[in-house]
Structures are given as C-alpha cells and as structure tokens.
Structure 1
Amino acid sequence: MAKQSNENGRHPVHQGGGYDTVASIATNVADGFRMVAVGDLIVTRPLTKYQGSGFAAIVKILQDADVTFGNMETNIFDIRSFKGSPQAEYGGAYHVSLPELGPDLKAMGFNVVGRANNHALDWGVEGMRETSQALDQNGIAHAGAGESLAQAVAARFLETPRGRVALVSFASSFTPLSRAADPAGEAPGRAGISPLRLAKTTVVLPEMLESLRRIRNALPGFKPSSEDPNRVELSGVTYKTGDTASYSYEADPRDVANILRNVRQGKQFADFCIVTNHGHQPGNWSREPPDYEQSFAHRLIDAGADAYVGHGPHQLRGIEIYKGRSIFYSLGNFIIDDLRTPVGADMFAAYDKDPRVDTDAEVTVNEMARGYETDPGFSDPVFYESIVMVSRFEQKQLAELRLYPIELGRSRRLANRGVPRLAPAPQARAILERLLKLSKPFGTRIAIANDVGVIRLRPSSSL
C-alpha cells in the first residue's frame, strides 16, 4: 500500500478501487505551461475596443497564457428578446450583460470561467441557460451551473497545446433557490449551481452566551431540555463560546464528498485541474478567509487540484503554497464595469427608488454606496485594487507566480469606472505590500521587483 504523506511530502493516494495512484493526481503539463487567474468579472459590455486607461496591456497578459480563468458573475442575453424575468430572490443586484460580451471575453483571452456564484440565477433558469449558450458559442469552457446537481458540479474541460485542463466550480455563497438538485424517484432534478452549504455559528465570550441564554429562556414558546452548556440557539442562530467574538463555519459533508469526487474525477481525465470557490464568508469586510476554508482547500489539492482560486469578498486575501500548488483565498475584482441596466423592480424597492422617477444608474450608485447588509459596499479603495496572477510551470511543477497589481479607477465617473489597468508604481507597491502581509500567516514569501510580485518555487522531480 502506498504511504500517506505529511504536509511537505508526497500527495496522498486515494484508495478508490485500486485505480488511483500518485501519478493520477500529479500535474502533467508541458514545460512553459501558463495559467492566468483573475477574480470577479462583473462586466456589462464589450471592452476590447476601449482605448482608455491602459486596458490593452492587461489584455496582452490574459492572451499570453494557455488557460485564462475568471469568475463569471453576470448573465449574458438580449433583454429585447429575453423570455425570463428578474427573480424575487437575487444575489444582491441584477447582473446582466449584452450578447456582445461572449465574443469579447474570448477576444480578451478568457477560455475558462466559473459559473457557481450568487448571481448565476438573478434572471432565473432562463438567464442561466442563455449565458451557457453564449459561452458555448464562443468556445469558452464553463463549470458550476447545469440542468441538475450532477451537471453543475461536474468538471468541464479545455484542450490546450500543453495539456488538458479541467475546471470544477462551486459556491459557498448563493441564493437558496439557485442550488441545483438531482432527480429523486419520480421528482425531476432542478437546474442551478453547484453548492457548498455551510453551517454558520456565531462565536461569543462566555458572559455573552449567558446573556443570550437568559434572553432565549424568557421568550414565549421556549421548552427547557438538556443541551450543550457551551451552545445556545436563539431565533435560528447558533452561538457558542470562544476566546474572541467571531464566526465559525462547518461545511456540509454531502457537498464536500460530492465536490471532492468530481475534483478527483476531473483530474483523472485531465493534465491540470483548477478548482474555484465563490464565497463571501465571513463578510466582504474581512481580509482573512473563513475558518473552514484552509483545511478544505488542502483536501481539494490532495484530491488532485493543481490550483485553488477563491473569489467573492471583492478584495484580495492571502496566497498559500501547499505541496507545491497555489491557493488564492481571494483574487478580488477584475472588472466591475457595472453599468447595470435593466434593474428589476425589486431592486428599486430595496433602495427606496421609484422607476418612474429614478434611473438605473442612480439605483446602482446607491447600492454600491450602501453595500450589502453590514458590508462597507464599494466605498473602500481596496475594492478597486487587485492583481492578475500568472503562474508558470516547468518539469511538471509550479515554478513561478507573477502578481501584476491592477487598479479599477475608483475615482472615475460611473461610465468609465471598473475597467482595470496596471497600477502606477506607488499604488502597485502598496497593493503588493498589503498582499505580502496577508500571505505571511501562510508562510508565503513574495518578492517585489519592478512593481510586480514574484513567488519563486524550486522545481523538483518528486511530488
């Protein structure tokens, strides 16, 4: 029997009927293979013809890769012929793009995108299907959404000259009705996205827990019973004691098993596997990932992932190198060209606007200023600063990461805001120094040379 490994040793062997070996989860790309990854694509129009702001230099980086990934956080369809409708349950805003975005994404260099996120069904199943069709027509591989859970969580593939790439996409932040389901007996399946359900617990100090317990006991309808002295459930929220007030998450074991199986299978049929997660936990205000994510990212890599790409909180989080493979806890925003139109009636109502008086743009500006729930919205400059990540492989191993700082024009007018350009020198260094600080707890060293971050790894013949 093959030996299981420690953190710095060989990858563990999955004992699945005797098929899997260390070789089945090894990176197998040809020398010079390059992967580019960016964060959220919130884009409403074609941009490759846009000559302002230095966007062309960014496009060149995207195009010079074997595989270029982004999180597709919008729908693509023509509102004039669209048969669906804006949903009452939506991801915080209605994201929709012109049909011309499909070929424009391809022209930018994108050839794989993740679909599992909280905006995938803003416009219902009809919007999800039209988006799938637009991506298919332009040869862009996509994963994370489908006609059933089995289709949504399945790996999708891209053929490149230096190796076959698999993509598995799931979301830990999603609207409840967007979760896909498989058939059960006579009941048909449900179209939607691949979910990672999380059970959330609020951590409080012991004296706080006792106050919550007294409140719960005083409420009508409470029936005393034996319980854990370190936990209280109040109005549907679970509280437990800890050293500091925080939030804690536990991933649903059924979703975990389903995702891990599809990662393993994706890698068995590919040379390289990207796994991507869209999650806002614990909130868009946080620069640190939620407490469940690191161990789960490690399990995904042990199952065969060559790179884990997180996005969702709209800002950068740290980078980790685990067993020679990259973990990006959040790549932030890449494009937030959010000229959102049309806007559904529910969103007008949510921001106390009148569609007979106010414009779609005024709703958008109001939403970005207020943010979601207790999050700071897009008033903080860090939401407009991110990186383009370029990884290069030699000898079938990750040899180098290059991190290109970008800024999205926070101070520009709405019609020009959100299109990335390479950040000027002082800002670039500030972005990289912030990322270095966020990555330090993971033991990651980032060198800064000519306003570009560099993480160098020593290729080795062993895994």
Structure 2
Amino acid sequence: MITSHEQGAWPHGRRETVRRRHRPALGLAGVGVVVAIVAGCAVGDGSGAPGLTGSAATPPRTATATSPRRPAAAPPAPRPTGNVRIAAVGDVVMGTLPDDLPPDDGASFFEPVADLLTGDVVLGNLEGTLTTDGTCKCDDDSPNCFAFHAPPSYSRWYKKAGFTVMNLANNHIDDFGAEGRRQTMDALRSVNLPFTGRLGQITVQRVRGVRVAVVGFAPDQGSSDLKDIPAARRLVARAAKRADIVVVMMHAGAEGSDHTHVEPGTEYFLGEDRGDSHRFSHAVIDAGADLVVGSGPHVMRGMEFYKGRLIAYSLGNFAGYKVFGLGGLLSTSGLLDVTLRADGTYRSGRLHPTRLVPPGTPEPGGDGIDLVAGLSEEDFGPQAARISSDGTIQRP
C-alpha cells in the first residue's frame, strides 16, 4: 500500500507513531518508542481490587461501593521486523515526441534490464514529462534548452518494468508547463504508480508492515527545494516520524563528463544554482534519512557512508532514448541494490553496472563499478563506500 501526502499533511484522525531513530531529528527527542494509543483505556491503579476476607486477626473491611476493575493498558505495538530491499536508478527518459520514440511503442524498452529492476521499493528519476499538451519551455533559438515529453500511455511501461515510486523533483517536470505536469501526474495515477518530489510531498510505501517514506528534492520551482536546507531538514524529520525507513532522492549538481567529482560548496550549471549536494545529504541524514540516492549530473559519482547511512551522489543516466549524449562516462551507469533493516540501518548493498547503448537504451555491463569505486576513494577517503570488484558495497 502506498500513500502520498502533500504539504506534509496526514489523513485526519490517523494516529501518529514515533519510532526509534538512529540520531536526533530536528525538534525531536533523540530516542523514541513505538506507542499504541488505545482510546478510552486507562491503567488500573489497584483501587478496584477486592477486599480481604474476614478473620479474627484481620476483621472484615467495611463494605463500600467499589468500581469495576479497570482494564490494563494495551502493551506497546510490536516494532516492525524484517529487511527491505531497495533498488534505485538515475535519470530515465523513454524518448520524446514527435519523432524520437522507441520501437514497438516502448513495450520492450526495459526488457534488457528487467532482471535488475526488482525489489520491494524500486525508484527512478523521471527526467521529463508524459504529455501531449502544454507549452514547451524552449524557444527555437535556445541551443542549450532541452524539453522531453513522451506519450502519457508510457506510464504503463514504467509500472510494468517494476518501478514503485517515480521522482518528479527535477528540472524537466515543467518542460511543458502546468498542463504537461498535470498530465504526467495523471498518467502515473492512472496505472497506480506513485510519485514523489512535489513541494512538501511525502510518499509512503508499506512493505510487510514496514513503512518506507520516499521524499524527492531538487533546486527547481515546485519541487521540495534542496537549496533550502532548514526546510529540507524539517520535511525529512516529519517523514521520519511517519515511517520506519526514509529514502531521500535528490536531483542536484553540475552536468557533464567533467563533473564526476563531488565538490564542496554550491555547484552551478549554465548559471543555475544546482545546490550543495554534499551539505544537503549530510543534513537530511542528520534529520532522519536512512538512504540518499542522487541523479542530475548525467554521470556517475562516488558513494560515502555518513553516520552509517549510504549516500550515492549520482547514478548517472539509466536510459535516454535519443535524448542524451552517449559514449564514455555519459554511457556509464548503474543500479543501486540496497537492503536495509526495518529500523533503517544498513545491512548490505551492491552496485550493478549498466550502460546506455545507441540510441540510448539500457543494458547490463560497463565500467560503473570501477568508476564509482575510484571516485568514492578519491572524494571521501576514510568515509568512502568500499566497493569490491563484483559491486558489493561495504561500510568503511
């Protein structure tokens, strides 16, 4: 079951629980407990216990009116147990109208990577829109402006591929204005494929009783803004109160093959503020996030562990039919496969290398493991994720 909550709202009358978090959350006690709230019940104080029977040594108590025994309070609800497997990829575009669409109307687009797109929670960044209407943001004389729109019917291929939540926090959800955005969201709803990333949105998926919150951020209007770090902390803290595991998806950073490294401070691309992904990632983990998954630079970046939680700064381009540059680093990608315990702690992980092959379809293989392993050590030193030759990800 998946629910989506706009502006941090919670259904009226829903009882909120507080879980034990891995660190102090913003404005919260550092350690909490799961509490079962039982309406109309009070703990018995013993005043309704029956009196002792009379004897010579202990004369009988004077008869008085007694109230019925009060029921004992219900014990705390059991904490969820078990593991949750999360699979995540970077940017995904199935093509763009009118001419650059895949054969067979996209039906076989994800078949080469179908075995990888498996997990309890499967995430991807929808880099574009699903619409046939709206006004394109690009003028004919804008060489550095790109706008993507695939048919709304393609939502069924994302659902069929195995995705369970799509991130809409990025710089392309408004490629065709408000109408294009509306059609995109309607298309995803039509196939019961939830999304996240709109301003204040928390999307919760239940996995065998474990609540997994997914929250998307980008430095773009209409998205939960990763440039506003105090607001991001507050939103993640709310998500941490409502779920057992919190996954943050971020779309951030400068773009291109010369931007594989995570640099301290704010990044810019074509004059636009693309956020400080390093500071942001640490802040949301401080607020209660258990996993951070990045996209946006269109190349892979390194991974680090911060306070025991994994940050994958960019997973690159997973798919981009006739819309992305190809070759070398631009074609190198991967799928992150992570298993978390019900309390959000890291259990295991693996990076599965993938690559884009002309004209931009995904397939297994490539140099993603070596690339990310090297970048991780260079950028994060002792905090780097240790990635073995088979893609196994270990804490430092």
Asked if Structure 1 and Structure 2 have the same fold, meaning a TM-score greater than 0.5 normalized by the shorter chain, the answer is yes
1:445 to partner: Cα distance: 4.6
RMSD: 2.7
**Structure 1 equivalent of residue 386 of structure 2:** 446
Judged with a 3 Å threshold, the aligned counterparts in structure 2 of structure 1 residues 164 and 286 are, in CA distance, closer, same or farther, namely: same
CA distance in 2: counterparts of 1:24 and 1:116, whole angstroms: 32
**Structure 2 equivalent of residue 294 of structure 1:** 278
Of residues 226, 231, 234 in structure 2, which corresponds to 1:196? 226
Determine if the alignment matches structure 1 residue 74 to structure 2 residue 74.
no
For the Cα contact (< 8 Å) 1:143–1:156, is it kept in 2?
yes
TM-score, normalization by structure 1:
0.61
**Structure 2 equivalent of residue 13 of structure 1:** 24
Q: Which runs of 5+ in 1 are unaligned?
A: 1-9, 146-151, 180-191, 198-254, 339-363, 369-377, 459-463
For the Cα contact (< 8 Å) 2:303–2:385, is it kept in 1?
no
For the Cα contact (< 8 Å) 1:168–1:275, is it kept in 2?
yes
**Structure 2 equivalent of residue 87 of structure 1:** 137
For the Cα contact (< 8 Å) 1:29–1:272, is it kept in 2?
no
Of residues 56, 75, 87 in structure 1, which corresponds to 2:111? 56
Of residues 152, 156, 159 in structure 2, which corresponds to 1:103? 156
CA distance in 2: counterparts of 1:133 and 1:457, whole angstroms: 40
- Structure number with the higher helix fraction is 1
Of residues 315, 324, 338 in structure 2, which corresponds to 1:331? 315
1:273 to partner: Cα distance: 1.1
Question: For this pair of structures, how many residues does the alignment match?
Answer: 307
For the Cα contact (< 8 Å) 1:72–1:115, is it kept in 2?
yes
Any idea what the Cα deviations from partners look like across 1:242-293, whole Å, max 9, x if unmatched? xxxxxxxxxxxxx211111111101111111111211233765211123133
Q: Which runs of 5+ in 2 are unaligned?
A: 1-20, 35-78, 96-100, 266-276
**Structure 1 equivalent of residue 31 of structure 2:** 22
CA distance in 1: counterparts of 2:295 and 2:235, whole angstroms: 20
TM-score, normalization by structure 2:
0.71
Larger Rg: 2
> Structure 1: which amino acid aligns with 2:369?
L
CA distance in 2: counterparts of 1:432 and 1:385, whole angstroms: 10
For the Cα contact (< 8 Å) 1:42–1:72, is it kept in 2?
yes
> Structure 2: which amino acid aligns with 1:114?
N
> Structure 1: which amino acid aligns with 2:336?
M
Of residues 88, 103, 114 in structure 1, which corresponds to 2:167? 114
Any idea what the Cα deviations from partners look like across 1:110-153, whole Å, max 9, x if unmatched? 111111111111100111111111112222221223xxxxxx13
Higher mean C-alpha deviation, range 42-51 or range 387-396:
42-51
3-state DSSP class of the match of 1:294?
helix
> Structure 2: which amino acid aligns with 1:137?
S
Determine if the alignment matches structure 1 residue 322 to structure 2 residue 373.
no
3-state DSSP class of the match of 2:192?
coil
> Structure 2: which amino acid aligns with 1:401?
G
3-state DSSP class of the match of 1:153?
coil
Any idea what the Cα deviations from partners look like across 1:28-70, whole Å, max 9, x if unmatched? 864231000100011236877328xxx53522221x3110111
1:325 to partner: Cα distance: 1.2
Determine if the alignment matches structure 1 residue 313 to structure 2 residue 278.
no
Higher mean C-alpha deviation, range 295-304 or range 41-50:
41-50
Judged with a 3 Å threshold, the aligned counterparts in structure 2 of structure 1 residues 260 and 447 are, in CA distance, closer, same or farther, namely: closer
For the Cα contact (< 8 Å) 2:25–2:288, is it kept in 1?
no
3-state DSSP class of the match of 2:116?
helix
Determine if the alignment matches structure 1 residue 278 to structure 2 residue 290.
no
**Structure 1 equivalent of residue 94 of structure 2:** 43
Judged with a 3 Å threshold, the aligned counterparts in structure 2 of structure 1 residues 196 and 33 are, in CA distance, closer, same or farther, namely: closer
Any idea what the Cα deviations from partners look like across 1:394-449, whole Å, max 9, x if unmatched? 4742111111101111xx3xxxx2111111xxx4xx43222111011323353435
For the Cα contact (< 8 Å) 1:282–1:290, is it kept in 2?
no
For the Cα contact (< 8 Å) 2:205–2:213, is it kept in 1?
yes
1:302 to partner: Cα distance: 1.1
